[in-house]
Chain A
Amino acid sequence: MRTQNATAYRFLTPYLLIFAIFWIWPIISSFIISFQATRTVPWRFAPAFNWGRLIGDPAFYNALKNTLLILVIQVPVMIALAIVMAVLLNSPLLKARGLYRFAFFAPVVVGEVAYSAVFRLMFSLDFGIVNKLLESVGLAKIDWFSNVTPAMALIMIAVTWRWAGYNAIIILAGLQSIPEDVYEAATLDRVSRVKQFFHITLPLLKPVIVFCAVLSIIGTMQLFTEPFLITERGGPGGGTETLGLLLYRQGFRSLNFGYASAVAYTMAGLAIAITLVQLWLMREPK
């Protein structure tokens, strides 16, 4: 046993050092900082300073509201779309499968900055290709950047485009792990394909779908680049400001580390709550 301890830690220590310094310690440190007044030197312990401000801050509620709004609309739409993509890509009837896979999976490799730039240009008011196409079919053009509702819609469209294929890859892997013979019995009993999908496929996919939903919720909760670059720092007038953007502005524009840490820990609290819901959904049936 003694020799295995030494050998094991020789392999483990380099990673554990980095993990402790840049992940575990910051998690603890962030919690401590959120209870400190950080705009005075030296920082002092003031438990209600940041959290008290947070509870009464309209900017916080605005960012929280926008973030939750994006979550409850964008995540379900995207997951549904990803399921449709995965199921159809898995169909034995599909020709030129590689081309379709490329179309849906390609956004996975596109960086946030590159695609934010393209979306910003595509949706611009007078010269954006989207408005030009809307007008060419007789529809009114939309001012995507000056009104809150279209701006929020634009953020959701962009995030959905970027991440639907990513989720489809995971769901497709889940689909392909369902054994064929599950369907054979149903087909012999002349159960329709639609019924097979709802009564066999979806229940078997539940763990994968919940996993994708949790991953997407935690990702969307930290949404930063899209409202930062596409809608210009959360515009119009804070209409697309998210918790991620609030954290950035408080932490790195105003250098108010204590308050920004409180915002960060609010996000952590949400993430923990969502993870607990996941564990509850995935509990073993008694």
Chain B
Amino acid sequence: MAKYIVKRVFYMFITLFLIATATFFLMKTLPGSPISSASKLNPQQLAVVEAKYGLDQPLPVQYGKYMLNLVQGDLGNSYQFKGADVTDLIISRLGPSFILGAQGLILGVAIGIILGMIAALKQNTIWDYGSTFIAIIGISIPSFVFATFLQYWLAIKWELLPVALWDDGWKSSIMPSIALAMGPLATAARFIRTEMIEVLSSDYITLAKSKGASSFEVAFKHAFRNALIPLVTVLGPLAAGLLTGSLVIENIFAIPGIGEQFVKAIMVSDFSVIMGTTLFFSVFLIFVILVVDILYGIIDPRIRLSGGNS
């Protein structure tokens, strides 16, 4: 197991190197620079400022310098916030994003599993159709549309929750979390329904029934764990979806999270913040996928990872 994780971490660094390189050059193909988009300097002044930040040097040199700093753990300084350290900027924005993401994922997956179970156990009844309907809504309505609906009804019409911003404690997180949860909810519901129906018709379920197990025991003791396996597989992509979803949701609800900062950085070509955030997202995703792989083995003994051969 330890050997496996070490191997995975090694691959993670290679992946990160490739992502950093690709992002760096892609970003440099964008028109404009942090300076040109922000100010009305004349060409001479521009040249002076560019020289100061090293933006006048040839691309390979800039790339080499950036990577050298990156290896030492230095993500550079922001162009838009008067030389603020990018690492500090990201960390300062982590809190709200993390709360939203975790709440959205847990809420979505939990409710999705419940809906999927109900649908599978009460197949072809009104319960099944109801939960399938909710799942279809969750898949087909984009989160920003849903978020706007929530704002209109919950905040403006009924005045239950704050419309936006991050200044009312936990209450501020409720609506964005619900909006974020819709995607995972729909995915989990669909996966669990399909898989439960399949598992419930398998031989070992008949054997469990022939042992005298009640339908409740059959569903939760025998079928549920087996039905979870495919859902675990999509947890990784689901978490990725939450990241991109949060870019939109954080903007709609004006939440000071990483996503909102990321979008702003792209608008003003704040190279170092773009790079830093991309790398942070990558590390996060790779980590989630590693966790999913480990979870896999815990749920299904057949794919339990044994040291060395993976």
Q: Do A and B come from one complex?
A: no
